[in-house]
Amino acid sequence: MGNIRITKQFNFETGHALFGYDGKCRNVHGHSYKLSVTVIGKPITDTTHVKLGMVIDFGDLKKIVKEEIVDQFDHATVFNKNTPHVELAQELTDRGHNVILANYQPTSENMVLDFADRIKARLPKNISLHSLKLQETDTSFAEWYASDN
């Protein structure tokens, strides 16, 4: 049986600021992100298996992405921990806000790289991450493809 790709989409709200950037995004602001996760594998052919015909149960994929990405990033503010934003991050944390200090500038490009690593680490051995699409606005998105990496 051939490989099949399946995709699940997720939505979450995240704030960020790009330290040192020369445009408006240097200010703290947020986005309604849309994340499309596509995995590839062979459907289960064992007629005694409860997930016969599935590459991966959409619920299992949802659990992975929810735990690794959505639950952590939804309604959080992301800052590069190697910038002076760390002081603002501490102030927000002290006031009870959900803050993520990342090892990178929190652009869509870097976030999608981070998300790919997190998801790949949790997928079953017979399933591969094919691609991710992180949509920041209606007209702007970053994509990650396994074939490019």
Which residues sit in the known binding site?
16, 29, 31
**For this structure, is 136 an active site residue?**
yes
Binding residues for Zn(2+): 16, 29, 31
Q: Distances in Å between the alpha carbon of 144 and those of 46, 47, 56, 66, 117? A: 32, 34, 20, 19, 11
Q: Choosing from 13, 49, 67, 75, which is the catalytic residue?
A: 75
Residue 148: CB atoms within 10 A of its CB come to 7
75 is annotated as an active-site residue: yes
Q: What are the backbone dihedrals phi and psi of residue 108, each rounded to the nearest 5 degrees, phi first?
A: -60, -40
The per-residue b/e assignment along 110-141, b for 16 or more CB within 10 angstroms, e otherwise, is bbbbbbbebbeeebeeebebbbbbbbbeeeeb
Residues annotated catalytic, as ranges = 25, 75, 136
